A and B are shown apart, each in its own frame.
Chain A
């Protein structure tokens, strides 16, 4: 019991750390999230809020992430 009390905060930290990592990964590989970012990016360019160079670079990064996410999704299906 005592041991549990002492270990629980450490476990909690680990769990939160894992959770944060999960969230980061989920967002990074989430296809819907990436699509949303791509659409928002278009709006930012339409509103002249970002320059052509920023648009192109950001789109390139997002499309790369999209491909990775798709690949990951396929791998999960095949498992």
Chain B
């Protein structure tokens, strides 16, 4: 029976380096490579009875299984990334057999070769900006010119009108705080993006997910030449030192394989 094939990623054909011995996603079959000329597919075999569509669907409904196996997938990719330029595949990329894998690779091979060339010598880094909302709101209430002029207007009104307008002012402070979050983060992003060959802005996570007191106000990813990583990180550190006391927190993680910049449509 034709075994299923789990695809981790695509690497350039490389006679000098062998992939390190690793167990596959089923914790049994080894990870190995299948050559396709200038490129190699990093794969492991899977037992069809355990991983065919219906069984896989049941497994992916199991939260614990998903976490454990997704972690394995990324760990394996990180190990490979330390040695090779790699086009990482999405978690649970499974083919019905070698023929099916071959058809896909043959179809996309020129694009894959080109992509491997583009991402060689580059690193992906993720940046998340968080802010202390109440601190920022205080700063906006004190320093924002729109708020200041509104306050001056209110001073001239009758006490009754003042009460109503002050409530509106609170709403205005909220709006201006949101604007400030976006413009501050956007400015930093533009500054950091100058170091990158490509960047992408991602959706912010809500507090329910981050579990943090601070709001996430920016989430972006950068593709960096290895030679610019040091400068990029030094700039992030400089910005963090400068803005921390104002309630801004910048977090970067990396280097990652090219998860966001090697999509093959």
List A residues at the B interface (Cβ < 8 Å).
37, 39-47, 49-50, 52-59
| Chain A residues whose C-beta falls within 8 Å of the C-beta of B90 in the assembled complex | 47, 49
Asked, given contacts A53-B63, A54-B63, A57-B63, whether A43 binds B74 with beta carbons under 8 Å apart, the answer is yes
Contact partners of A45 in chain B: CB under 8 A = 205, 209
Which residues of chain B from 240 to 257 have a CB within 8 Å of any chain A CB? 253, 256
**Contact indicator per residue, chain B 83-98, by CB within 8 Å of chain A (1) or not (0):** 0000000110000000
A residues near B202, Cβ cutoff 8 Å = 46
A40 to chain B, nearest CB (A): 5
Does B261 lie at the interface of the complex (its beta carbon under 8 Å from any beta carbon of A)? no
Name 17 A/B residue pairs within 8 A (Cβ), A-sorted. A37-B71, A40-B70, A40-B74, A42-B253, A43-B256, A43-B259, A44-B67, A44-B71, A45-B205, A47-B91, A49-B90, A49-B91, A54-B63, A54-B67, A56-B208, A58-B63, A58-B67
A47 CA / B209 CA spacing, docked (Å): 14
Does B75 reach chain A (CB closer than 8 Å)? yes
Shortest C-beta distance, B233 to chain A (Å), equals: 16
A34 to chain B, nearest CB (A): 12
When distances are taken between beta carbons in the complex, the residues of chain B under 8 Å from A53 are 63
Instruction: Judge if B66 is at the interface, Cβ distance under 8 Å.
Output: yes
Q: In the complex, what's the smallest C-beta–C-beta distance from B258 to chain A, in angstroms?
A: 12
B74 contact set on A, CB distance < 8 A: 40, 43-44
Contact between B70 and A55, CB atoms less than 8 A apart: no
Give A46 to B254 CA distance when docked, in angstroms: 13
Interface presence of B193 (CB below 8 A): no
Q: Known A43-B259, A44-B91; judge A49-B209 contact (CB<8 A).
A: no
Chain B residues whose CB sits within 8 angstroms of the CB of A57 once the complex forms: 63
Chain A's closest residue to B257 (CB) is A43
C-alpha gap A45/B90 in the complex (Å): 12
Contact of B75 among A40, A50, A55 (CB under 8 A): A40
Contact A52 B209, CB 8 Å, known A46-B126, A46-B202, A47-B259: yes
Whole-angstrom distance between the alpha carbons of A46 and B221 in the complex? Answer: 10
Q: Does B219 contact A (CB under 8 A)?
A: yes
B91: min CB distance to chain A, Å: 5
Q: How far is the CA of A47 from the CA of B90 in the complex (A)?
A: 9
Give the docked Cα–Cα distance between A54 and B62 (Å).
Answer: 9
CB distance from B176 to the nearest CB of A (A): 29
For B206, give the chain A residue with the smallest CB separation. Answer: A52
A44 CA / B126 CA spacing, docked (Å):
12
Which residues of chain A are near B37, meaning CB under 8 Å? none
Which parts of B178-208 form the interface with A (CB within 8 Å)? Answer: 202, 205, 208
Least CB distance from B105 to A in Å reads: 22
Q: Which 4 A-B pairs have the closest CB atoms?
A: A49-B91, A58-B67, A54-B63, A44-B70
B211 within 8 A of A: yes
CB distance from A38 to the nearest CB of B (A): 10
Residue of A nearest to B219 (CB): A46
